[in-house]
Structure 1
Amino acid sequence: MEHRHLGRTGLRVSRLGLGTLTWGRNTGERDAADQLKTFWNAGGSLVDTADVYADGGAEYLLGRLIEDLVPRSDLVIATKAGSVPDPDRRFDTSRGHLLAALDASLQRLGTDYVDLWQVHAFDPGTPLDETLQALDIAVASGRARYVGVSNFCGWQLAKAATWQLAAAGRTALASTQMEYSLLQRGVEREVLPAAMDLGLGLLPSSPLGRGVLTGKYRGGTPQESRGGSEDMAPFVAPYLDDAAALIVDALTIAADGLAVSPLHVALAWVRDRPGVTAPLLGARNAQQLTAALSVEALTLPDEICQALDDVSAPLHRYPDHDWSTL
């Protein structure tokens, strides 16, 4: 698999990453092991997790597999901290919480360091400079090699990245992780331009539109799908509307013309967007993952990219719109 630099850093990662959102919850140890081995055998290196996935179960499972299945040195392990696992889904990015969470993550993962440590979301209750100081401490102490953020809007990302570049001794942000797909292009308005200008690589989550861009929901909701499960159905539901259906129809036409699957076209589209380093794949089993990884040989023709751009274009008005006509 081809590898890319993460933003303007020297860290190279596979241009497809493996996500572990369902590990330890819907994905058991055997399926997780099969996925990790399949990913590694395909030349993949970037594995993304978080301390709140399955209440730490995803990290613990990944740690067990690293010990028994795949050499630690072959992987780029990324994890996140800052989410608090309670019914209100609140965030705490105070220095104390973040550093304690990092230590707990390292213990579950069974490693001395993570390659990429990310703030899971912006916390308006904590001064941003305090949050960023925790990232500096993590790198200075050797517990993290690189740092990034996740789910920061445009101004939050620009403020954080600029702060880190403002003085010697601070650790520059390497990446931002955001949802990005043909069904969710909101990052193109402010987040992606900020990331590209400030030298951060984008790690798109849900690059297949929470599974909808595979086309499997065109005839209804399969019982074995995420949309058919009680806990994940609300996650998929926003992308099952009429607007999404039009995009999926266009995607299917493009896939038929190229003699590939809609999954491959959707994944190749987001993988090769400007500013993208590595989309993160979430698969139910190794068979699904193998199908996604086979996109490596596909590059979309320009006319297909343009057609997909047009049919999925988000509506941006002021201030992006020409204000002189208002």
Structure 2
Amino acid sequence: MEHRQLGRTGLRVSSVGLGTMTWSRDTDDHEAKDQLRDFVEAGGTLVDTSASYADGGAEELLGSLLGDVVARDELVLCTKGGVRRTVDGGVVDASRGTLLDSLDRSLARLRTDRVDLWLVQTPDARTPLEETVSAMRLAVSSGRARYVGLSNHPGWQVARAATLLEPDPGLAAVEAEYSLLQRGVEREVLPACAGLGAGLLAWSPLGRGVLTGKYRRTIPSDSRAASAHLAGFVRPYLTADAAGVVDAVATAAAGLERQPLEVALAWVVGRPGVASALVGARTAAQLRVALGADDLELPDEIVRALDEITAPTLGYPERLDPR
């Protein structure tokens, strides 16, 4: 598997990363172990998790596998903080105290003294960005995180945080949804990353599973769309417009004698500015299919066709009329 530089940092990550959102809830310890083993054997290094995944269960499960399936130093561990659990559910909280407490608990669950990359998971409208950034800086200066970044933040916050983090430690990465069904990052986030030297980590490159083609005719009983806690996550892409994109991907895949998910993943991996595409599979068998796309380089004519079908609308102020 190809390894790429994360933005302008010295950190290198595998072009496909392993997502763990389903671990300890939909993915049990046996499947997780098989996933991690297959991922490492394929040359993967970047494993992405979060304190919020299964209320810390994903981190706990990943930590139990370190040293068993793979040595800690052979992985690039990325985790996220900023969603605080309460009796009423998750609450966005990117205050200094909550972030640093969350990081300490993440390290304990992961059974390590540091993570390679630590991200603030989502914007917090109630906490000044300056305070959030101060926690990010302290995480690096204390040795608890080697690099820091943001997740799901708009372009202006990416730019502001990067400015506040200059010159050291700098903003290493931005994690955001990016697929043929969601290209919104191309308006401002990707240009911001390119200008500021941050690498993009693309989550849900398979369009929340829809680009695999599994939902073209029905909703499988064992799929995310049939799950009580994930149906709402998939539903936005079960539309007529999305179906047209899925059909185009399936047509391209048939012509290449590959699977639709391989085409969808290869498209994201090949986009400028993308350091890694994060694949979160429920089973090891599903992950192995995705890892099989590693050798696929899409022909230019297919890339152009998919680009034209799915291109986001750009206008003022992202694109000015030259007149």
Matching of residue 79 in structure 1 with residue 79 in structure 2? yes
Q: Distance in 2 between matches of 1:69 and 1:213?
A: 30
* Residues in 1 aligned to 2:322 and 2:141: alpha-carbon distance in whole angstroms: 49
Q: Could you list the runs of 5+ residues in structure 2 that have no partner in the other structure? A: none
1:7 is paired with a residue whose SS is coil
Mapped contact 2:18–2:46 kept (Cα < 8 A) = yes
Aligned residue number for residue 281 of structure 1:
279
Runs ≥4 residues deviating over 3 A = 86-89, 320-325
Match of 2:113 in 1: 112
Q: Aligned residue for 1:123? A: 124
Q: What SS does the aligned partner of 1:203 have?
A: strand
Structure 1: 5+ residue runs without aligned partners? none
**Aligned-partner SS, 2:67:** helix
Residue 53 of structure 1 corresponds to 53
Q: Residue in 1 aligned with 2:298?
A: 300
1:268 to 266, 286, 307: 266
1:314 Cα deviation after fit: 1.7
1:85 positional shift: 2.6
Partner of 2:35: 35
User: Whole-Å Cα distance in 2 between the matches of residues 153 and 94 of structure 1?
Assistant: 18
Distance in 1 between the 2:304 and 2:163 partners? 33
Question: How far apart are residue 237 of structure 1 and its match?
Answer: 0.5
| Deviation string, structure 1 residues 200-248 (Cα, Å, up to 9, x no partner) | 0000100000000001100111111111111111100000101000101
What displacement does 1:320 show? 3.4
- Residue 124 of structure 1, CA deviation: 1.7
- The 1:196–1:321 alpha-carbon spacing in structure 2 relative to 1, beyond 3 Å, is closer
Deviations 1:29-76 (A, max 9, x none): 011001000101111000000001000000000000003221111100
Give the equivalent residue in structure 2 for 1:12: 12
Deviation track 1:255-303 (CA, whole Å, cap 9, x = no partner) reads: 1111111101000000110000001001111111111001111100111
Give me the whole-angstrom Cα distance separating, in 2, the residues matched to 1:305 and 1:260. Answer: 15
Following superposition of structure 1 onto structure 2, how do residues 223-234 of structure 1 map, counting pairs within 5 Å? 223-234=221-232
Q: 2:5, 2:12 within 8 Å by CA — same for their partners in 1?
A: yes
Paired residue type of 2:133: L
2:171 to 158, 173, 177: 173
Residue 3, structure 1, aligned to residue 12, structure 2: no
1:69 and 2:69 aligned: yes
- 2:213 corresponds in structure 1 to 215
Partners of 1:323 and 1:11 in 2: CA distance: 39
> What CA distance in whole angstroms lies between the structure 2 residues aligned with 1:209 and 1:88?
26
CA distance in 1, matches of 2:64, 2:215: 34
* Equivalent position amino acid for 2:307 in 1: D
CA distance in 1, matches of 2:150, 2:255: 38
* Amino acid across the alignment from 1:76: V
* 8 Å Cα contact 2:188/2:318 also seen in 1: no
1:149 corresponding residue in structure 2: 150
Alpha carbons of 1:258 and 1:130: their partners in 2 closer, same or farther (altered >3 Å)? same
**Deviations, residues 178-216 of structure 1 (Å, cap 9, x unaligned):** 000000000000011001110000001000000000011
Q: Is the 8 A contact 2:119 2:149 kept in 1?
A: yes
Work out the number of aligned pairs and report it.
Answer: 322
- The offset of 1:323, in angstroms, is 4.3
| Cα distance in 1, alignment partners of residues 136 and 282 from structure 2 | 32
Q: Which amino acid aligns with 1:159?
A: R
Task: Report the alpha carbon displacement of residue 164 of structure 1 after superposing the two structures with TM.
Answer: 1.4
- In 2, the alpha carbon distance for the partners of 1:115 and 1:152 equals 20
So what's the TM-score if we normalise by structure 2? 0.97
Provide the rounded CA distance (Å) in 1 between the counterparts of 2:317 and 2:187. 10
1:83 partner amino acid: V
Q: Which amino acid aligns with 1:48?
A: D
